Amino acid sequence: MEPVDLLAFGPHPDDIEIGLGGTVALHVAMGLEVGLCDLTRGELGSNGTPEDRQAEAEAARGVLGAAWRVNL
């Protein structure tokens, strides 16, 4: 992972998009490098499988323009 100007953390995949999506997109539009970090895969959630949520999270990363996404 390359260095970023802004690193956003979320507890589960999709939480960054819900809570900070506009902020991420704004900073990307300003020319800053943004990284996203999910703390879990959402294993205990009822909104799809962890694999589905990871695929959706990666698609959202691309839409927002973030440089990378990692899951702890």
The confidence score (pLDDT) of residue 54 equals 87
The confidence score (pLDDT) of residue 14 equals 86
* pTM exceeds cut of 0.85: yes
Rounded CA-CA distance 9/23 in Å is: 12
SS3 assignment for the chain: CCCCCEEEEECCCCHHHHHHHHHHHHHHHCCCCEEEEECCCCCCCCCCCHHHHHHHHHHHHHHHCCCEEEEC
The confidence score (pLDDT) of residue 6 equals 97
Domain ranges of the chain: 6-71
pLDDT along the chain (72 residues), means of 10: 95 91 97 96 74 90 96 92
Rounded CA-CA distance 59/54 in Å is: 9
